Structure 1
C-alpha cells in the first residue's frame, strides 16, 4: 500500500498562536494528518485542551524574548519538520486610527515577531537539509481592505517567505503563504459587538456568500507542509471565499443593477 502524500505521520510541526481561533483548527488538522504538534502561544492557559506533544511560550510582541524561547526549544528538541507562523493581532482599522506607537506595535507582533520566531527555525532546518514553513498572512497583504499597519506587516510576510524560498530552497527549506479572507474567529467579536448586523454588509463581497472556516485555512496549511506540496515553494494562496478574484459588489450593483 502506497502511503498518502497528504499524511504527516511521524512528523512534528510547531504552530504559533496555537490557542487562537485559527490556531486551534491548525492543531486539530495537523493531528488528524498524523503529525505531532508543538503549540506556541503567550501563556499556557491559552493552550488548554489542545492535543499537544509540547509547548513553547513567548509573547511575539517581544522579539528578543521570542527568539530566546525558540532557540531554547531548538537546543532541547531540534528543529521541527514544519512550522506554521500563525500568531497575529490588529485593532487599528483605518489610517485615522494610526500613530507611531500603534504602527510600531502592529508591526512588532505581525512582522518583527514572526521573523524572530521563524529565523532560528529556518537556520536549523537549513542545517538539517529539510523543512517547510507556512505563514498565515491575509488578503490584506494583496489589496487594501482596512487595517493599514496590519496589512503592511502581512505584506512583509509575503516578501520574507519568498526570500526564504529563494535563498534556502537549495538547502531543502520550503516557504509558502496562506492569505485568508474574513474568518469567523473571536477576532471578530469586538466588531460584531459594536454592530450585530455587520455581516450583512460583509458577506455580499464574498463570491461564496460566506466567511472562510478556520478549518479551511488549516487544511491548506497541512497541504503545504505535506509531501503532496514537495515541489511548491514561494507561493501565495488566498483562502478567501473568492474575495480577491474580483469585485462582486461592483458586478451586482453596477452591472446587474441589483
Structure 2
C-alpha cells in the first residue's frame, strides 16, 4: 500500500483542515501532521509573524477575542475556499497559575481566549458544516479540565470547552458533525518558557508526577487530534482523549512518597 493510498483510506486526503493557534508548538505539529496526510491545511493566529514560513495553504490573522472580526474572517474564508472538513480549536494561553494570581482581569482574559474564542471560531464553521452535511471538530482542551492542577481560570475555560464539545456532539450529530476533545497534560512548548525562566529546576519537579517519567510531545498531541479527525474515528463523538503520560490515571507521587515510602 502506497502512502497516498493509506492517506486516502484515512479520509483526509485533499480535505480542508482549519487550525487555530497555528503558530504555537502544538499548532505547528498539527500543521505537519495533517500536511503529511495530504490534507489542505489552513491556519490562523493573532499575529502575522506567527504564521511566517509555515507550510499553510492559507494563513489568516484575527483576534479570536473579537467576535465580529473572527466571524467575518471565518465567513470570508468559507466563501473563498469552502467549508472546512476538519476544525482544530487549538488557540489558548494561561498565565494565572494559582488562585492568588487570578483577579477579575485575569479571569476574564483567560475565559475570553480559551472558551469564548473557541466559540467565536466554531459557531460559524459548525453552521456551515451542518449545511454541507458533516465535518469533524476537535478541541485541544487540557487535563486541567478534568482535575485541578492549578491555573484556575484556564481550567474553568477548558472545562467549559468540553461541555461545549459535548453539546455540539449531541445536538449537531444529526447533521453529520462529530465533536471531540484532546486533553493533553504538560507539553514542552514555548508556553513553558516563562515558567522555566523563573524556575529552571521546574521540570525536575514536574516529571515525577508522570508515570511515563516525561512530558508528552506536541507531535503526540497532534496525532491524537488527527486520529479523532480521520475515518478511523468515524463512530467517535462527544469523547475526551487524554494524552498525558499517565497523569490522570492516578497519583504516582502519593504512591511513591506515602505507600512505597512505608516499606
Does structure 1 residue 134 correspond to structure 2 residue 138? yes
Q: Cα offset for 1:76? A: 1.9
SS in structure 2 of the partner of residue 24 of structure 1: helix
Could you tell me which residue of structure 2 aligns to residue 153 of structure 1?
Answer: 157
SS in structure 1 of the partner of residue 261 of structure 2: coil
Query: TM-score, normalised on structure 1?
Result: 0.97
2:196 pairs, out of 176, 188, 192, with 192
Q: Deviations over 1:64-118 (max 9, x none)?
A: 2212211221222221110000000110001111111111110000000110011
SS in structure 1 of the partner of residue 63 of structure 2: coil
Could you tell me which residue of structure 1 aligns to residue 255 of structure 2?
Answer: 251
CA distance in 1, matches of 2:126, 2:46: 21
Paired residues in the alignment total: 258
Could you tell me which residue of structure 1 aligns to residue 216 of structure 2?
Answer: 212
Could you tell me which residue of structure 2 aligns to residue 221 of structure 1?
Answer: 225
CA distance in 2, matches of 1:200, 1:61: 35
CA distance in 2, matches of 1:76, 1:91: 36
SS in structure 2 of the partner of residue 83 of structure 1: strand
Segments ≥4 residues shifted beyond 4 Å: none
CA distance in 1, matches of 2:37, 2:244: 23
Could you tell me which residue of structure 2 aligns to residue 123 of structure 1?
Answer: 127
Matches within 5 A, 1:1-258: 3-4=5-6, 5-6=9-10, 8-257=12-261
Query: TM-score, normalised on structure 2?
Result: 0.95
Structure 2, unpaired ranges of 5+: none
Structure 1, unpaired ranges of 5+: none
Q: Cα offset for 1:60? A: 1.6
Q: Deviations over 1:7-51 (max 9, x none)?
A: 521111000000001000000001111111001111221111211
